[in-house]
Structure 1
């Protein structure tokens, strides 16, 4: 079911400082910031061989990661993102095994332009899990069965 680790997401209180650390101190390639208003965050990606690190900052006061920062003012690891081949099939198999999908259970489009879902951390050893669909042919939400 799981293919590979796509990225580790770290919530940061100051995106500019975090970018400077990774780019200027650690010498990593960092993408341009990307606002994701539908998710309430601004993200950048640090490219690593075979994976990425996603730095996540709140986009506005209503951001879901604002509550994370209220509990963890220095920031910290937020979620792991794994690639899957068929997101709807994976979701249905996990639901049948008793795992909970956050939100309305329907995929949304993530930062890579691909469908994503999040699994409840209480069902996943205390870790928020993002599943990202990765297929040979790009897929839009309209292509997925059971999506509106």
Structure 2
């Protein structure tokens, strides 16, 4: 029996703002949206063009306070060929990416950027 990763879910305070962030920052596309007004929540599934893995954004309509992130160092990760160009793009968009970094003793291989809800996304050199 084999298992395949299909999606990960994060809860967002403002669905449109979060969708726009992932579209602008990473070129994700909305694959589908499921609205459940009687239950006061909406699910939006985004994916990279040509990709299968989805990011599920869950928006609870009656939520007004930001979600608590906890004290673990969790994050999403995306890969890109030209890390430096990606970093410049995110700076130009005003998204405030963290500095380029590498593991100890290694050249720069990644940086982090926070989405509108504070979730970290690691941008990694492919």
Q: Please, what TM-score do these two structures have when normalized by structure 1? A: 0.37
TM-score (norm 2): 0.43
